[in-house]
Structures are given as structure tokens and as C-alpha cells.
Structure 1
């Protein structure tokens, strides 16, 4: 990827031959600001429409051995040409050249240079003193934070210089002139920041401080939003847990019987057992549920076939029919009470009735008497 970087020109002096010699800072570490179309023209990374893209130059990339060597003996141009400068077009673009003594100067890269073109020298002496490197680099598009706490959108790697251009305007603001401008004043590097939707031009150092504060504030806001989201999740989980426990409590409350309900249940159970015994006196009810009692009674009275593969509703209906029959048989014909279980008297009173009735039947068969049985 071909990019341009803007820095300042310092230490100007003229030689006897009229050349202009300078020792200049031409690159630095840290965050560089570019526009979206510069770094992502095809919008492959979703940055093309961003007004400002923060590109980070790590110290290990800026001062890498191959990167530092690439600053030496580069052609100097008047503004950036529309093409890379090569041996084929060097004469068409070059107005000077960088030297070979490339050194680190704090966070900067410093190189000597010489301007040999009369017209270019006049422009520099007239105030056109900004320097902009034309270079290639590999960009890794990823969000991150520098060791100093500044946020970035991409990282530059494999820096290789092609040429050094003399330009008149800084990337984000006014001229980046350092040194005497011939009128007793000193110019400063400026940068334009977007603060709450407004464009603000600040001195470069001040802009770095403001940008770092803004990035720190944005990080705090993001951290708070993340923490709030996690807190809300925890609250939602607690609310769900409490709701579940409330439902369990309500369910347990529904299972607790009042004294009146308990009396009804006891009476109903006693009535069921009484009815069961009236239908099948030998049926066992201990430890059985109500449904199991009804089933046992039907089986005892009608046989296992009566309940085989039958639904509970069917068995309950058969039990009800038996219960009705048992109810109707109470206090009716003594003979019916006796023979309902196969002419087997249940007690002495039943036995007496049975014996009397049997004697009457025997007498009629012998012709001793005549009687009408109702």
C-alpha cells in the first residue's frame, strides 16, 4: 500500500554552490491520522467512509533495520508525484536527495538531505518547509490500544521508503514548520480533531493530549457499558431465580390443606372404605390409594377380566354401579341379603332367616302347606 507521511524540515543552510542542506526528521512512531479512502479505498475493511482512521506505527517497525536502510539515498521531490520514483523517471521528479546517515532521534527518524533545484529551494525559503515521505507498507486492520493508551484502527508494518516530498500543507492542519521562518516567529505542527462533532485545530502536542484523554474516556464509557450489561444479566438471572422460588412456594401452599379440607378428605376416605367393604367385605384397603381401592373392589367382585386393559374412568364407573347396587340392597328383602353372597349367612341372624326360608321351601315341596312367596 502506498502512503504519504507529513513531517517537518529543520536545520536549513546553504552551500557555496547554492544547494540547500538540511537535517530533517522524516518519520516517527505512534499514531498517524489518515482518511478512510487513503487506507481502505475499496472499503474491504469498512473504513472507507471514516473521516479519520488512526494508524499505529510500533517502535519495532519504525526502527527496524530494513526500514531504516530504506531512508538512505531517496530522491527528494517537489510535492508527491503520481507514481513511484524509479531509475526510469528519476530525472523527471527529483529536486534533491537524502543522505546515508539515517539515525534515530527519540521517537523520530532523522536523515540529512540536499535540495539542488533552484526553484524548489526558493519555495522552501519562501515557507514551503513541510516534508512528506512517500512509502509502501503493509496494513493490519485491527482495533487496539498502544502502550501509551491510544486507540488505533490499524497497524503499519514493513515500512519501505520510496521518496521524500517537500509539501506546503500538513495532513490535518496548517504548515508544520520548525525553526526560524525569517520573520522572527516559530511555527508549530497542528492537528485537527473531531470533538463532539466539531472540527478543532490544536497544536500537535496538545492534540495528542486531548486525543489520549478522549480515547481514555471512550474506553471508560465502553467498560462501563460492558459492566452495566453484565450487571443487568445478573439481575435478570436473579429475578428469574426468585420467580421460580415464588412459583414453588405457591405450589407448596396449594398442597397444604385447611382443617375443613382435611376433615372432608378424611370423611371421603372413610366413606370410600365403607362402600368398598359393603361391596366386597374381604377387600384389603390398607396402604392403597383411592383409585387402587376402587380397582381392587371391581376385581374382587367381578373378576380380574373386568379390569384388564381398562381405563381408570371405566373402572370408576363400574365401581359406582356396584356401589349403587350395594346401597339399594340395604334393608330390603332378607332373603336377598342372604343369597347375594351365594346363600352363605354372614351372621347368626342371617343364618336364622336362611334356615326358616329353607324350611318353608322344603315344606312346600312336600305338599304340607301352600304359600305365596312375595
Structure 2
């Protein structure tokens, strides 16, 4: 399996902000999440259309693996992604803090304790709403198509996840959808969150956690409707195909079709009698009649497995040979009759002499 560096996104709820005497911000964050995520093929280094999406499954036993959770401890915090793993060469330019301690499971998420030390980064959190998190990590991708418990199909399974850094992102940048949102970026006051319903109308909800739940519920309903419509479309396609088949069958039973088919069967039987005289035919399918004739005329060949085109070509050749043989036999018969007639018409002595040679009679 190839190890690839990717960036995954979730969100954290800033309800436990504390500041040290040195002015550092200490806050827990939801950094990683189980379930499925969509990626572009180019993000995972896969062949094919680089912009084609693939679905990756992050099973709980991998996300909550002890070694994976331990990799959170000491991971650097960045503002946005540096475009590569944080390392000794870019550390001074990218790191604005770190994670203290290992990650820990929290429902579908992994929660970690962040310490943000850079004053500008703290200001971006407080004033510009950089409160969403995106995990930068390495992982291995196992090609494995399957379906999760909630019915989501996936193409790969993510394994051996190792965290390199969490990046602070502005609102709306999270990969995890509407759950990846700011919950409490203004601890001293309440904020109103606008939720767009499936009918297009927008309402404002004061509690952001409730707003997230409402939005997620609407998303699930929309997905259920889309899945139901897809199933209806699939069934309609089946019905349309059956209707087309019925139309073809009806056309095949029309008078002119019946007449044409009877002629085809009659012609096939007549020609087959030439190829295999005396054979009994138990089919009204011209091709099957040809197979039966060939099976008698050339029994060493397995005609059952041959294609229609092959059978028809072989039958035509056999028929032509039979016609040629019959023509030669008729030609010889006529020559014999003509010869006998010519001899009978000669003067009697000559005829008697000719006959005596065959009967060994003495003149």
C-alpha cells in the first residue's frame, strides 16, 4: 500500500478556552473523524482522471487505534496548511502552537488539546473566526469496495493514520460538511446561525449545535429523496426496457412477420434435406434446423457451441457442395442415357457386336 500525505477536516467547539499567564490559548478541538470522506484521485496519488472523486472509509478501529491517537501528542498547529508535512526545515515558518497529549475518542471524533502560542494566530481565532480544524497526516489506502452501516459505498479503506499537524481554517473550509462549523467563536455572546431548509426558506437558530443537527437532518432527508428518485429512475428504465421488448414481440407476431418466418423455416428445411437427407427436424428455428443438418452431415464437429454466423456459413458451404454433387450425378446419368441411346440407334450388327462384348457372347 502507498503512504500518502492528505489533509482531512473537522471542527472543534470552543467552549473551553483558557489563557495562560504568557497569553497562550489553550482549547480542546475535534481534529479527526470516523466515517467516509470524499477525495479527488490526485489527492491520493491515484491513476486515472485526477479530478475524479473517490470515497474513502475511515473505520473507527483505525481512527481510534492507539498508535494513531498517540501521534497527536506534540503535533504542531498551523494556520492553513503549509502544503507539505511540517518538518525541521519549515517548522519556524509554519508552527503556531502544538497539541499536548494523545488524542481521545469523543463519539465519532478524536478530541485533542491545542496550545496556540502565536499572538497573530490567536487573533485570527478570536477576530476572524479561524476555528475549524483540518488534520494533516499520512495514511495508507487499501483498495476495497464496500458499504458502511449507513449504506454509504466506498472505494478505499484508510489505515495506519499518523497525525502531522492540525491546521486552523476559516469557516466553511471543513471537508466534513455542515458539522465542520464554528460552534462558539464568541464566548461572551450568542450568535445566530442561518439554516436553509429544503424548501429554500432560511431560518435563524440561536444555538449552533442545534443548527448543526437541523442542517444534518435536512441533508439526510435530501439524500434519502435523491436515493429514492434514483431507485425510481432505475425501475422506470427497467419498465421502459420491458415495454420495448413487448413491442418487438408484438411486431414479430404480425401477419407479415409470420409469413416471412414460415417461408424462412420452409426454405431452411428444404435446404437441410439436401445437406442431410432423411434427417428429422424438431425445431422451427432456421438456425437450429441448420445445426441439426450439420450435426448429421458432419458429426465430428460440435455444432451446439458454434455461433449463428459460423453455423450459417458452414451450412451454406455444405449446401453448395450437395448441390454440386447432385449436379455431377445428374450430368453422369444423362451422359449414360445419351450414350445408350446413341448405341441403340446404330445399325443392328454394330449394336449386337457392342452388346456381345459385355455379355461375352460369340458372334
Q: TM-score, normalised by structure 2?
A: 0.57
Output the CA distance in 1 between the equivalents of 2:36 and 2:239. Answer: 28
* Change over 3 Å in CA distance of 1:248–1:39 after alignment to 2: same
Label 1:338 to 1:253 Cα distance change in 2 as closer, same or farther (>3 A). Answer: closer
Q: CA deviation at 1:326?
A: 7.1
Q: Is the 8 A contact 1:130 1:167 kept in 2?
A: yes
Shift of 1:108: 1.3
- 2-structure distance, mates of 1:121, 1:108: 24
Whole-angstrom CA distance in 1 between matches of 2:355 and 2:118 = 137
Seen in structure 2, the aligned counterparts of structure 1 residues 187 and 15 have a Cα distance that, compared at 3 Å, is same
Structure 1: gaps of 5 or more residues? 191-201, 257-310, 344-374
Aligned-residue offset at 1:31: 1.9
Provide Cα deviations, 1:162-190, integer angstroms capped at 9, x if missing partner: 01111114146787212363541255999
Aligned to 1:316: 333
Instruction: Give the C-alpha shift of residue 133 in structure 1.
Output: 0.8
CA displacement 1:239-294 (0-9 Å, x = unmatched): 9xx999985554347899xxxxxxxxxxxxxxxxxxxxxxxxxxxxxxxxxxxxxx
Q: What CA distance in whole angstroms lies between the structure 1 residues aligned with 2:230 and 2:352?
A: 99
Which residue number corresponds to residue 167 of structure 2? 165
Higher relative contact order, chain-length normalized (CA < 8 Å, sep 6+) = 2
Question: 1:327 Cα shift?
Answer: 6.3
**Distance across 1 between alignment mates of 2:83 and 2:335:** 103
Question: 1:58 corresponds to which residue?
Answer: 59
Deviates most, 160-169 or 4-13: 4-13
Stretches of structure 2 that go unaligned for 5 or more consecutive residues are 197-213, 253-257, 274-327, 358-363
1:244–1:21 CA distance, 2 compared to 1 (3 A): farther
State whether structure 2 residue 19 is matched by structure 1 residue 3: no
| 1:84 correspondence with 2:88 | no
Task: Name the residue aligned to 1:149.
Answer: 151
Q: How many residue pairs align between the two structures? A: 268
Distance 2:230 2:216 in 1: 20
Q: CA RMSD in A?
A: 4.8
Distance in 2 (CA, whole Å) between partners of 1:178 and 1:161 is 24
Question: 2:182 matched to which residue of 1?
Answer: 177
**Cα drift, residue 69 of structure 1:** 1.6
Distance 2:64 2:244 in 1: 47
Cα distance between partner residues in 1 of 2:160 and 2:231: 29
Q: 1:368 — aligned with what?
A: none
User: TM (normalized to structure 1)?
Assistant: 0.55
Give the distance between the partners of 2:225 and 2:20, measured in 1 at CA. 49
Distance change >3 Å, CA 230–CA 245, structure 1 → 2: farther
Distance 2:183 2:239 in 1: 46
How far did residue 342 of structure 1 move?
A: 4.5
